[in-house]
Chain A
Amino acid sequence: MRPMSNVGIWIKGAAVAVLLLLPLAQGVAKEAPPLAEDPVLEKQVNSITAELRCLVCQNQTIADSHADLAIDLKNQVRDMVHEGKTQQQIVDYMVQHYGDFVLYRPPVKPATYLLWIGPFLLLLAGIGVLLFNLKKRRQAATEASPLSAEESERLAQLLNAGTDRKNAS
């Protein structure tokens, strides 16, 4: 009888688990963003929202984000595409209301010149330092000055002294 009751408990447990999970599944299904019937339109919506930053989770695009605001903005974009607005018009609308920050790719303008050019300036500076150092090293190598008369005499003496001692021993 024991094994039977164990099986019974398992079945009961499984049933309870399914019952507990059921509302969760419904909840998830409800939150899924509504899909437009038109796959072409949806593709357009995705390509536009991939260029827009989610202001809540700032390192995600609106296309990637599941934040409430991102879903609202995605719906807004979908409505605007439906109305026949161009990508440029939609992006301009978002910039007018949320500022340049909403653009995932920062625009090139005086305030962002340093942002765009900065890395290249650093690269140039790095190359400059490298060339300067290489040149200095090469100069040091070629300019290794020949010995002065005094020095060569001393060198000869030392060498002679060495051979003399060898011969002597």
Chain B
Amino acid sequence: MRFAVPLIVFVVIVGFLWVGLGLNPREVPSPLIDKPAPDFTLRQLHDPEKSFSNKDMLGKAWMLNVWASWCVACRQEHPLLVQMSRAKLFPVVGLNYKDTAADANRWLMEGSDPYVLSAMDMKGDVGIDYGVYGVPESFIIDKQGIIRHKVIGPLGPAELQNCVRPLIRELEQATGESKVSEEVKKACGR
């Protein structure tokens, strides 16, 4: 009995530490989920004469992938993006963040280009609108232009299979306002 109180206190502290230290402080939940994607119009990387606007993608479920040639973790997710584009899973648009056209093009030449196109956000203003704080980040956007999920850091095969693919499938099937099922929400950690 004498040890009961200290033991309980100890167990509670261990419980808090167990949960607390398991959380990733880098993963700050985005307030933009289930909100309309902020509008932007930017020049295209490959063809600076042409511009791209997020509104061009209305009617499609797609992914906006924020990347940069200076971003080390982008190299980590790059092969998966290339595989995805070969398999034609869904359109992936690149947002080339705080980069120069020369560096970005060189980077894409090194490997292959997984993007339908890349938009150049040289000053990072669009990045601020999207709440980007660490590259790479990916936004899954539905047919009506609503952000439905945000991947922080490099996209991994597990997250692609369990969360992103089923999510995009649901968004593609939706007519009118898309609804994300509870299973997918759970798989995406929401």
Seen from chain A, the residues whose Cβ lies within 8 Å of a Cβ on chain B are 55-56, 58, 68-69, 72-73, 76, 95-101
Contacts and interface: CB of A to CB of B under 8 A. Distances in A.
B111 interface: no
* Interface size classification for chain B: 10 to 19
Contacts of B4: none
Contacts of B32: 97
Interface stretch (B126-134, B138-146, B163-171): B126-134
Interface in B22-53: 25, 28-32, 38
22 contacts: A55-B133, A55-B134, A56-B133, A58-B25, A69-B133, A72-B124, A72-B128, A73-B128, A76-B125, A76-B128, A95-B31, A96-B31, A97-B130, A97-B131, A98-B28, A98-B31, A98-B133, A99-B29, A99-B30, A99-B31, A101-B28, A101-B29
A contact face: mostly helix, strand, loop, or mixed: helix
Contacts of A73: 128
Given A69-B133, A99-B29, A101-B29, 5 more contacts: A97-B129, A98-B28, A98-B31, A98-B131, A99-B131
A101 B28 CA distance: 7
Contacts of A56: 133-134
B75 interface: no
A164 B133 CA distance: 92
A101 B23 CA distance: 15
A97 B31 contact: yes
Nearest to A53: B28
A76 B125 CA distance: 8
